[in-house]
Amino acid sequence: MIRDAENPMLRLRTAAFLAAAAGAVLVALPAAGGEAGRSATAMEPPQAALLRNIAFTQRLDNLVPLQSQLTDDHGRRVTLGECMNGRPTVFVLAYYRCPMLCNQVLNGMARAVQALDFKPGVDFEIVVVSFDPTDTWELAADKKQSVVHVFSRDGDPAGWHFLVGQERTVRALADSVGFQYQYDPATQQYAHASGIVVLTPAGRVSKYFYGIDYPTRDLRLGLVEASAGRIGTAVDELLLYCFHYDPLTGRYGLAIIRIIRAAGALTVASIIGYIGVSVRRERKAARQAVAFPGDADATGRAVKWA
């Protein structure tokens, strides 16, 4: 009698059965997971489902619609391009009746701008657009006054633009910078992300800064890069070399490799300088030896006879 373990046909049948069973399990798992996922989604609170559609996706180098027709805080019809005035721009999406997050974003931006030595309206512009189509230009004017007051109690409002617009226009603006938001009827508020965007003078997306706190150094470097050299100093250029922008965090961090290279170049320059000084000293000593009559001592230096 042949044992099962020694029967090739039986082994093949057993392997085929196990493979078929494993395949059936694998096929069943996604279906079961899908049912569980649908059940979890069905039980998910409406606010949680709303937040899953909120994002701030980076669209670097994307061109914002500069011809968008908006209304400023004086009730005048303007375009986004007119407000940018050919300068690098801090661009913010917020709605003026937001009870919390938008205020923190705007105040954080105002504090960061306050510490800059660049002047709004001269070196760069600040453009805030409400994504609530029911906001009015009067609300924009009130919000502008409160935010500029945070910037400086006697602050010049020049360079600060608070705008409102129609839903389709503002939605296109938000999409151009990857800003997604949704209205929640239950709370009568908007769910949205937080952050600011730096645009180039040509209206292209240059940098994102997330959250509600924007370090002045980071914002300054972002404006310098966005300006293509129109503003900034040699110190800024050095900082740009030593720091690099991390698009995942929206922050500037030390560029260690660049610093190591700079330190290596400085070390090589120091060695070359030392060699040059040493050579000049040796040549000077040799010329002095020729100038003195008499013999030279063991070191080769001339000995002057009494």
Q: How much is the average pLDDT of 270-278?
A: 75
Assign domain 69-254 to its CATH architecture: 3-Layer(aba) Sandwich (3.40)
CA 279 to chain centre: 50
Of 24-33, 53-62, 264-273, which one has max mean pLDDT? 53-62
pLDDT (tens digit per residue) in 101-115: 999 999 999 999 988
Render 87-149 in DSSP notation, one character per residue. S-EEEEE--TT-SSHHHHHHHHHHHHHHT-SS-BTTTBEEEEE---TT--HHHHHHHHHHHHH
Q: At what angle do helices 256-291 and 234-242 cross, to 10 degrees?
A: 120
| Cα 136 from Cα 22, distance rounded (Å) | 62
With beta carbons less than 8 A apart as the criterion, state whether 165 and 128 touch: no
Pick 295 or 211 by higher pLDDT: 211
pLDDT digits over 75-98, tens only? 999 999 999 999 999 999 999 999
252 or 165, which is more confident?
Answer: 165
128-132, 155-159, 206-210: which has the minimum mean pLDDT? 155-159
Share of the chain above pLDDT 90, in %: 42
Q: How confident is the model at residue 12 (pLDDT cuts 50, 70, 90)?
A: very low
Alpha helices in 152-197 (DSSP H): 167-176
pTM here?
0.65
pLDDT of residue 234: 55
Q: Is the pLDDT of residue 151 over 70?
A: yes
* pLDDT-above-70 percentage for the chain: 62
**How much is the average pLDDT of 189-202?**
92
- Does residue 211 have a pLDDT over 80? yes
- Model confidence band, residue 20 (pLDDT cutoffs 50, 70, 90): very low
Confidence of residue 251 (pLDDT cuts 50, 70, 90): low
In degrees, rounded to 5, the angle at the alpha carbon of residue 259 between the alpha carbons of residues 257 and 265 is 105
User: In the prediction, which pLDDT does 187 show?
Assistant: 84
Residue scoring higher pLDDT (297 or 230): 230
Task: Answer yes or no: is pLDDT of 38 > 60.
Answer: no
pLDDT of 29 higher than 90: no
